[in-house]
Structure 1
């Protein structure tokens, strides 16, 4: 998995490519946890270029979403059809706040 981080005034945008699976999950969680401790507290995770996500990947997304709830920040995930299908299989689409585009996610950010 590869990615970039773009920090703006009221959100952090992470764009990821590759696989979000058991192999990439530990490093992904470590990096994301460090970034979540920084400001701003609103996170947009762009997974629209992710090729595959497994149960480990879903688990880390749930964990990050819970951390963001505790930190009073927003956590939105931009998906593609493959990621959306996987998330819907386990009925987490509402909890994980799936979005169709980065622009939609930005528009849904809480007012500062």
Structure 2
């Protein structure tokens, strides 16, 4: 994992059929720009479906949600599969604004990987 900001670390691994991004820390107004740049740079270089694993995120605010919406829209426009894995905090925030369907929110990484593989 590399440090994207003081409060956010991220990395990715290439699985057989997808890219899995892992993040820890806070996805907020301070880190959303670096988050977007990092994910988009990797997605430009490797044309595979994406799984964004936020199961270790401590805090997600409206700016972070906005970044996730932009990312989902970008993937949809590029006809690329996209899934979001959340923990209880992330899931609560996403469901509060009724974006779980748009962001393809799932409960855990094995579920996401099985849906990408299907």
Task: Please classify the TM superposition score into its range, dividing by the shorter chain length.
Answer: over 0.9
Structure 1 portions without partners, runs of 5+: none
Deviation at 1:110, TM superposition (A): 5.2
Provide the secondary structure at the position in 1 that maps to 2:116: coil
- After superposition, residues 1-112 of structure 1 pair within 5 angstroms as 1-109=8-116, 111=118
Q: CA RMSD in A?
A: 1.1
* 8 Å Cα contact 2:17/2:117 also seen in 1: no
- The number of aligned residues is 111
Deviation at 1:4, TM superposition (A): 1.8
* 8 Å Cα contact 2:50/2:81 also seen in 1: yes
Structure 2 portions without partners, runs of 5+: 1-7
TM-score, normalised on structure 2?
0.89
Provide the secondary structure at the position in 2 that maps to 1:82: helix
Whole-angstrom CA distance in 2 between matches of 1:48 and 1:110: 20
Query: Displaced runs of 4+ in structure 1, greater than 6 A?
Result: none
* 8 Å Cα contact 1:41/1:71 also seen in 2: no
Deviation at 1:71, TM superposition (A): 1.1
